[in-house]
Amino acid sequence: MPAEPVLVIHGGAWAMPDSVVEAHLRGVRNALAAGWRVLGNGGSALDAVEEAVVVMEDDEIFDAGRGSFLNRDGRVQLDALIMDGATLRAGGVGCVEHLRNPVRAARKILSESPHVYFVGEGAERFAVEHGIKLCRNEELVIPREVQRLQEFQACGIDKDSADLFAATISHDTVGAVALDSAGNLASATSTGGTLNKAPGRLGDSSLIGCGCYADNKSAAASTTGWGEPMMKLVLAKWAADRVLSGSLPEWAAAEAISYLESRVNGHGGIILLDARGQFGIAHNAPRMAWAVRTMEREEAGVERVK
Ligand code: ASP
């Protein structure tokens, strides 16, 4: 069914200090512009979320692509998922170490593979076979993150029990949800995961229904925040199901975040969009970078949406 396009972006939910607010706003606005170039010209929701996420993977301010958090071994390990609400096709990569834009590989999986999910070396081999160049892991590592990891590890915190997920530790995962003029929904989420994570740890972001979900019949969702609680609740699908049973996305997003907090003491944020163009943005972390564009309005912020 024809629709007016809508694009919603997030760039992570956490206790973001004032000093980095401008950079996050710039980042989500740039992503919004890239996605809207696709949507505004009649392009697909799938292409729009891919292009928006690529811009944020390339932006070092976010925990996605180059500039991501380092794992315990000082390496970048990336996860991403993209999903098409019209067909329910999806493509995901996990624990990849040599891809600048994991969402591009995820898109190739969605479009060109009978499989849904590839991890590690197999994902990278698939990417190469489909024309994507590998990079060295060092190219994804930036000095800010080397220092952050060193400081974290120097604290001498017991690495297995540390509260890696305190709201003060940044959660800069990125995501986008879109509705195109053909009435189709899509979503994408990309992350470097959590600081000092154990090598091989996979978060919620690239798991279908946890960090990302899209179904024309319910909604498109992307989440950010402490991944372990979110995957226990399959939170993105949980929120989309609320929309299917009649909740407005605005309410379903808020309900999802309070469920996350009350049920498993989680924190983070979610963006949610239905096929009528109604959307919700909610978070219980103090701030979340978000941006939205419709035919009528364009807005970005880091504070709670009223
Ligand atoms: N959800 C991500 C993870 O746990 C982190 C984030 O959103 O920043 O891997």
Is 212 a pocket residue for ligand 1 (Cβ < 6 Å)? no
Does residue 155 carry a pLDDT above 90?
Answer: no
Is 250 within the bounds of a domain?
A: yes
CATH number at residue 12: 3.60.20.30
Read off the pLDDT of each residue in 141-163 and give the average, rounded to a whole number.
Answer: 78
Is 68 a pocket residue for ligand 1 (Cβ < 6 Å)? no
Give me the pLDDT at residue 159, please: 46
Give me the pLDDT at residue 289, please: 96
Domain that holds residue 245: 6-301
Q: Which residues neighbour 92 within 8 Å (Cβ) at sequence distance 6 or greater?
A: 79, 80, 81, 82, 106, 109, 116, 117, 118, 206, 207, 208
**How far is Cα of residue 78 from the mean position of the Cα atoms in its chain?**
11
Q: Residue 224 catalytic?
A: no
Read off the pLDDT of each residue in 236-257 and give the average, rounded to a whole number.
Answer: 98
Record the pTM.
Answer: 0.95
Give the distance (Å) from ligand 1 centre to CA of residue 42.
Answer: 32
Does residue 100 carry a pLDDT above 90?
Answer: yes
Place of tokens 């978060």: 203
The active-site residue, picked from 173, 189, 194, 224, is 173
Place of tokens 């069914």: 1
Q: Are 40 and 180 in contact (CB under 8 A)?
A: no
Nearest CA to ligand 1 atom 1: 227
Residue 82, token pair as written in the block: 């993209």
Is 12 a pocket residue for ligand 1 (Cβ < 6 Å)? yes
Kindly provide the b/e burial profile for residues 10-40, where b requires at least 16 CB atoms within 10 angstroms of the residue's own CB.
bbbbbebeeebeeebbebbbbbbbbbbebbe
Does residue 157 carry a pLDDT above 80?
Answer: no
Does residue 164 carry a pLDDT above 70?
Answer: no
Is 171 a pocket residue for ligand 1 (Cβ < 6 Å)? yes
Is 224 within the bounds of a domain?
A: yes
Is 306 within the bounds of a domain?
A: no
Number of domains, the chain: 1
Give the distance (Å) from ligand 1 centre to CA of residue 134.
Answer: 23
Read off the pLDDT of each residue in 32-46 and give the average, rounded to a whole number.
Answer: 97
Is 269 a pocket residue for ligand 1 (Cβ < 6 Å)? no
Name the pLDDT band for 146 (thresholds 50, 70, 90): very high
Does residue 231 carry a pLDDT above 50?
Answer: yes
Give the distance (Å) from ligand 1 centre to CA of residue 202.
Answer: 9
With pLDDT > 90 as the criterion, what percentage of the chain qualifies?
88
Is 272 within the bounds of a domain?
A: yes
Does residue 188 carry a pLDDT above 50?
Answer: yes
Residue 226 to residue 237: CA distance in whole angstroms: 17
